[in-house]
Structure 1
Amino acid sequence: MSWDPGGLNKNTRNKLYIILRFLRIEQTFFSLPMAYLGAFVAIKGIPPIPTLILIFLALFFLRTAGMTNDNLADIEIDAKNPRTKNRPLVTGAIKIREARTMIVASLILFFITSYFVNIWAFILAPIVALIIMSYPYMKRYTAFANYHLASIQGLAVFSGAVAVLGLYYNSLDQILLRVPWFFVIGTILWAVGFDLYNHIPDAEFDKKMGLHSFAVVLGRWALTFAGLNQLFSVVLDLLGDFYYGLGPIAIFATVLHGLIMAYAYYLASQKNDFGRAFYYNIYSSIVLGLGVDIDVILGIPF
């Protein structure tokens, strides 16, 4: 399996392009709609524009730190894996010193941005950062690393909600009660599915390296497990649509989100095309996030 979302053509010399591939910048843009979903649903309205900008910046800086840390932690593993041997840090297109500088700078900028979001975002920022920065080490110990990674996507929804709720409520209890938890948990289950699209092609390699994932534990049943997680995610998202009083646009977007995931599952299970399956999951998250946000903005009732 030659597909790799972080791979790079050896002849590439453009430094900006190399950095963007290294960060897998397109994955920031499938997390962003989910963060905005959390923000819009939490207050059932349009958040202040400065807050939306700060949400984007905080997400970008933290993803930069997390992705860079992930690549740095896995550099020796990636070098031995035929699928990942062309990643920028492995080939030297990005130096280790540069990666460490990116991590430090991005974390500093993340905490600064969180401070300007609201006090609760700033207080919770170290916990969020710890979850994200610890991810690459979890697969050395447990298959639940897949859920650890997926929880990072769920944190996008959670963090978007906290970013706006902290503007209106002084109590953390009040904020946590108003977080759209159906969508947080639904996003986690969705992310488990597409994360396994990364791990299933590497199952034999991971087993030899002593790495853990549900692809290794479940073997040929791993893809079914991925599909079931995503099926339950759609159920939770639909429940969220009704529980939070969303309208027909959100319902339509949720159904379409599920259909795109179903097609991705078909590509993985019938065509063995895990690369396209992975990217169709990006499209599905954009559909869901934008659909729910538009629904809130227009407020069209049933």
Structure 2
Amino acid sequence: MSWDPGGATASQSKLYVYLKFLRMEQTFFSLPMAYLGALVAIRGIPSPSVLLLIFSALFFLRIAGMTNDNLADKEIDSRNPRTKTRPLVTGAITTKEAKILIAIGLAGFFISAYLVNIWAFILSPIVALVTMTYPYMKRFTAFANYQIATVQGLAVFSGAVASLGVSASSLTQVLGSVPWLFVIATILWAVGFDLYNHIPDADFDRKMGLHSFAVVLGNRALTFAGLNQLFSVILDLSADFVYNLGPISYVSTILHGAIMAYAFYLASRNQFGKAFYYNIYSSVVLGVGIDLDILLGIPFM
């Protein structure tokens, strides 16, 4: 179980170390889901400035959240054979550098939220709080798996708020038009996705007093992950119908589910690294597919 998406060796370039430390590729994989929220919420295409600010907010929050996660877990990661090559553990990135990154990330996120619209700015502290408290929550409850999954769901939510808030006259109007089925489906998808990180570490986490459903459920954790993702696909298909989306959305949702099923198969064979990345690919297929569906406006026959 040596796989770790955040590991990097000192012999690699500083830029590569930073990219691995922040897992920046996951920002770009999350972007189609944020745009899904933005496009579905208004059944159209937001302005270029809104699209750019959605990316900016997601980018900076990733910097703050991932750095905070690594900083909070530095001592734990140093004891885990799977994570001992993480840059904060090896010293490739210093604690001072990490704190600067957190400050830059939060400042960039709040500025982006302020620039996009007033409702996004008002809600931005809640989004930041959920993101920044996750690494501490797993010291107390297994529902931390749902908290980190909620961060993924908030990408869809935040995209919707960014596009809706431009013309909305009240916060109630904004919240009432958020595509909540997609938000909840994304959370359930991400719970399974996150457990692919925790299942290989279940014995270690148990010894360290850390909490996750991998620790609580033991051998049943993988089944629990699969059930969450099964329900997420059902909700996605329901959302395609409720939000009156077209055929590309249905096809992309089915492909999304098929890729997740394959990832589950890989995880059942202890190939958690591959399963982790196939789950990322599945979200890209879903997000891009629904975004294209709205962009092209092909009616469902």
TM-score by length of 1: 0.99
Match for residue 276 of structure 1? 274
Match for residue 295 of structure 1? 293
Match for residue 140 of structure 1? 139
How far has the Cα of 1:31 moved from its partner?
A: 1.3
| 1:65-97, Cα deviation, whole Å (9 max, x unpaired) | 000000000000000000000000100000000
Match for residue 120 of structure 1? 119
Distance in 2 separating the partners of 1:242 and 1:35: 20
Match for residue 177 of structure 1? 176
Distance in 2 separating the partners of 1:251 and 1:133: 34
Aligned length: 300
How far has the Cα of 1:30 moved from its partner?
A: 1.9
| 1:235-291, Cα deviation, whole Å (9 max, x unpaired) | 00000000000000000000000000000000000x210000000001000000000
Match for residue 11 of structure 1? 11
| 1:116-157, Cα deviation, whole Å (9 max, x unpaired) | 000000111111101100000000000000000000000000
Query: 2:16 aligned with 1:21, yes or no?
Result: no
Asked if 1 retains the 8 angstrom alpha-carbon contact of 2:9 and 2:87, the reply is no
Distance in 1 separating the partners of 2:178 and 2:108: 25
- The one-letter code matched in structure 1 to 2:198 is H
Q: What does residue range 64-103 of structure 1 map to in structure 2 within 5 Å?
A: 64-103=63-102
Match for residue 239 of structure 1? 238
- The one-letter code matched in structure 1 to 2:162 is A
Query: 2:179 aligned with 1:203, yes or no?
Result: no
- The one-letter code matched in structure 1 to 2:114 is Y
How far has the Cα of 1:29 moved from its partner?
A: 1.5
| 1:155-175, Cα deviation, whole Å (9 max, x unpaired) | 000000000000111111111
Distance in 1 separating the partners of 2:213 and 2:145: 7
Asked if 1 retains the 8 angstrom alpha-carbon contact of 2:149 and 2:190, the reply is yes
Match for residue 44 of structure 2? 45
Distance in 2 separating the partners of 1:268 and 1:9: 26
How far has the Cα of 1:105 moved from its partner?
A: 1.3
Match of 2:167, SS state, is coil
Match of 2:81, SS state, is coil
- The one-letter code matched in structure 2 to 1:259 is A
Distance in 1 separating the partners of 2:11 and 2:200: 25
Match for residue 162 of structure 1? 161
| 1:158-194, Cα deviation, whole Å (9 max, x unpaired) | 0000000001111111111110000000000000001
Distance in 1 separating the partners of 2:242 and 2:196: 31
Distance in 1 separating the partners of 2:237 and 2:27: 24
Match of 1:300, SS state, is coil
Distance in 2 separating the partners of 1:109 and 1:147: 26
- The one-letter code matched in structure 1 to 2:3 is W
- The one-letter code matched in structure 2 to 1:125 is S
Distance in 2 separating the partners of 1:23 and 1:248: 36
Distance in 1 separating the partners of 2:271 and 2:80: 19
- The one-letter code matched in structure 2 to 1:7 is G
Distance in 1 separating the partners of 2:30 and 2:270: 25
How far has the Cα of 1:26 moved from its partner?
A: 1.1
Match for residue 152 of structure 1? 151
Match of 2:229, SS state, is helix
Q: Percent identity?
A: 73
Distance in 1 separating the partners of 2:265 and 2:105: 37
- The one-letter code matched in structure 1 to 2:8 is L
Runs of 5+ consecutive residues of structure 1 not aligned to the other structure: none
Query: 2:193 aligned with 1:194, yes or no?
Result: yes
Deviates more, 1:25-34 or 1:116-125: 25-34
- The one-letter code matched in structure 2 to 1:284 is S
Asked if 1 retains the 8 angstrom alpha-carbon contact of 2:24 and 2:62, the reply is no
- The one-letter code matched in structure 1 to 2:11 is N
Match of 2:122, SS state, is helix
Match for residue 213 of structure 2? 214
